[in-house]
Amino acid sequence: MSDALRENPKAEEDNAIDLTPMLDVVFIMLIFFIVTATFVKEAGIEVERPLATTAERQDLANILIAITPDDDIWIDGKPVDARDLTTRISRLHAENPQGSVVIQSDRRATHKALKTVLDAVQKAGVPQVAVAAADDS
């Protein structure tokens, strides 16, 4: 080691690169992207929706319920028993009271399954309900 560095240990510190400002910028960018990211929620299964000419876009849906051709009911990628449906919808609605329910019913599902889901949504007290349809254009 040279005599200048032995006499002045502060000179060695001055030669080091300070990474703190760079890490601050990286963390700020990370927080920005997390906050501004759009998260797409899926019902968990693919259903073939019926066609509709009067379909309107529903943007603020926070509860997506899917009904399969076999009348199985799915929420958040998990099958749900019809008896537990009202409880599950109530809990999800309590997490986001401004959100709505969108039912994605397969075109081969029975009306009975759709009515069961609609009744459960009504009992859960969710005021905004929509049934998803495919755009025929």
Which sequence spans correspond to the domains of the chain? 3-36, 51-135
* Rounded CA separation 118/112 (Å): 10
Q: Assign residue 73 a region: left if phi > 0, alpha if psi is -120 to 50, beta otherwise? A: beta
Amino acid letter, 108: R
- pLDDT, block means (10 residues), the chain with 137 residues: 57 73 90 75 59 54 84 88 91 86 87 92 89 66
Instruction: For residue 81, give Cα distances in angstroms to 30, 42, 64.
Output: 39, 19, 15
Q: What is the pLDDT of residue 98?
A: 82
| Predicted confidence (pLDDT) per residue in 18-39, tens digit | 888 889 999 999 988 888 776 6
Written as one string, the DSSP assignment of 123-136 is: HHT---EEE--EE-
Q: What is the pLDDT of residue 128?
A: 85
Angle at 98 between CA 36 and CA 79, to 5 degrees: 90
For domain 51-135, give the CATH number: 3.30.420.270
| Among 61, 103, 54, 96, residue whose Cα is nearest residue 80 | 103
Q: Where are the beta strands (DSSP E) in 1-137?
A: 51-52, 61-67, 73-75, 78-80, 100-105, 129-131, 134-135
